[in-house]
Amino acid sequence: MATWESANDTQYFLGTEVQISALNGVVYIQSHNALSGGYIKFEADQSISQSVGQASLGLFSDMESGSITLGTSGPTGMIYLATPGEGMGSGALLTPVGLSLFSGAAEAPANINMNAEKLELSIGPPGAGSMITMTDESITFKVGEVVISITPEGIVSTSPTVEVNCEDTNISISAEGINEQVAEVTREMNVEGHNFTAAETEFNVGVEGFVSEGPVKASETEAAEGQNSTIHANIADAMDTRLAAILVTA
């Protein structure tokens, strides 16, 4: 049954579940039952507020500024804002445990995910794009298969190839080995051994022994030098000089 009360203010009741009132410059519409309730309130100070169960919305304005508030309560409450488009879109998701923002194409969006344990920033296709993950103990940078982690214990990098270039100085690390170069000086290390070069001079240490080659070879021993081999050949096209207090060749 509907009832109407009127004096300077007005109240209108639609049974026991709906109430409409205009009191002191405030228009108030309320609906409720045994389990939940909701209302819309219009105020003379240029504000509108609305509540439905565990969710609320407020719009407030004055001569200088305005504000909009959204709120939910409960362990599964959330606020979701989205502006979908053809092949593109942006959105924001707020929950009691975290915040997510996204924008861009669905197959390669830009994302920000934040909770009490970590902060993630990513862009590009999942698994192949770029990502930065921060926790209270580490920062991890990831681009495709390349991963760099910084922790209080140090820096750990995982990647198919690592290259460092600084003008004439270059370092390359890969599954095949390590290559270092400083101008005309190089060092190569792989499963077969080490190879050193400096201009025309080359020295190789491999699983079968070592081989050296160069325009000049000098050897000086202050005390004793011993050399033992089944077959030994020493050939000098120009000059071979050896200086030692004791030199033994067997």
**What are the two backbone dihedrals, phi and then psi, of residue 118, each rounded to the nearest 5 degrees?**
-160, 165
Return the C-alpha torsion angle 26, 53, 72, 104, nearest 10. Answer: -100
Mean pLDDT over 87-112 rounds to: 89
What pLDDT was estimated at residue 38? 73
Please give the residue that has the higher pLDDT: either 140 or 62. 140
pLDDT tens digits, 13-46: 555 566 777 777 677 677 766 566 676 777 766 6
Angstrom distance (rounded) from CA 174 to CA 182: 18
Answer whether 158's CB lies under 8 Å from 152's CB: no
In angstroms, the first-to-last Cα distance of the chain is 124
pLDDT, mean of residues 67-88: 82
Under 8 Å between Cβ of 158 and 147: yes
Alpha helices in 62-117 (DSSP H): none
pLDDT in tens, 184-226: 899 999 998 999 999 888 999 988 888 888 887 777 777 777 7
pLDDT at 1 over 70: no
Backbone angles phi, psi at 240, to 5 degrees: -130, 115
| CA–CA distance, 105 with 124 (Å, rounded to integer) | 9
CA–CA distance, 105 with 84 (Å, rounded to integer): 10
